[in-house]
Amino acid sequence: MGIVGCGTMGAGVAELCALAGLDVRVAVSPRDTSAVAGRQRIVASLDRGVQKGRLAPADRDAALAAIELTTRLDDLSDRQLVIEAIHEDEAAKVELLSTLDRIVADPDAILASNTSSIPIVRLGRCTRRARNVIGLHFFNPVSVLPLVEVVSSVLTSEDVRDRAEHFVATVLGKEPIHSPDRAGFLVNALLIPYLLAAIRMVESGLATPAVIDQGMTSGCSHPMGPLRLADLIGLDVTAAIADALYDEFKEPLYASPPLLQRMVEGGLLGRKRGRGFYVYS
């Protein structure tokens, strides 16, 4: 396994793959703090698993031993499957996948993207192996949520789709669903309009985030209200998915509310920054 990026999603996927017994190599930014922060995320998550009794200390230690961090993309040249998990920016993902296409030696290796909104055909066509490019959209937190969207484009081969589904279901023990190769795929095409509607209610002064969230948790049995969920996803990610949906479909319900745009511009990105619609310790 190769993974590019060790933020919230990259670290979660690395942990999951290591616990499945895979040899995991994670490429991170050459900045001094990036590798350290990525390793800390993985260690902290595995330690929580031990503390809660979900994981034996020996399994934690084995998983940590299976994960190698590197600052060189070239170190992924021998990987059979590489998942990019960098920030949700189409130009950055296109550049990265084009580079991986040149680096990864095995012509049958799968190049996968954890994008939550960008059509896979746009990412595949920047490579010489579009047939091997697929979407594997994990959900946060990766260690807890069972679903993975498997997204094959019109250029992805059927064999690669089958191999990716086998990897998700059999190797990782997750629940794969096949989603259409359109902006937002399946889950976010349903979820994002709901989150944006809640943000518009706050923006218009109809209700506070706490009241809206209480209405959906206590009245509709949702495990988490829409504003806390947006904070968990990341308001920057929520806005990026909304922009991708609006760019493709031009539907008003996909347009980012001004409040969301201002919060992102102000760095109020949710839980990962300590403040979004709520304040976090």
Catalytic residue among 114, 116, 153, 256: 116
The answer to whether the CB of 214 falls within 8 A of the CB of 225 is: yes
**149 assigned to active site:** yes
Catalytic residue among 45, 114, 152, 188: 188
Phi/psi region, residue 118 (left: phi>0; alpha: psi -120 to 50; beta: rest), is beta
From the candidates 15, 137, 152, 256, give the one annotated as an active-site residue. 137
Active site residue 137: yes
Going by DSSP bridges, is the β-strand pair 24-27/133-138 parallel, antiparallel, or unpaired? unpaired
Q: In the annotation, is 188 catalytic? A: yes
Determine how β-strand 133-138 pairs with β-strand 2-4.
unpaired
CB-facing half-sphere around the CA of 157: CA atoms within 13 A:
11
Alpha-carbon dihedral angle through residues 40, 13, 47, 227, given to the nearest 10 degrees: 90
Residue 208 CB contacts under 8 Å (≥ 6 apart), including other chains = 202
Distance CA 188, CA 141 (A): 16
Q: Which is the catalytic residue, given 117, 149, 152, 153?
A: 149
**Which residues are the active-site residues?**
116, 137, 149, 188
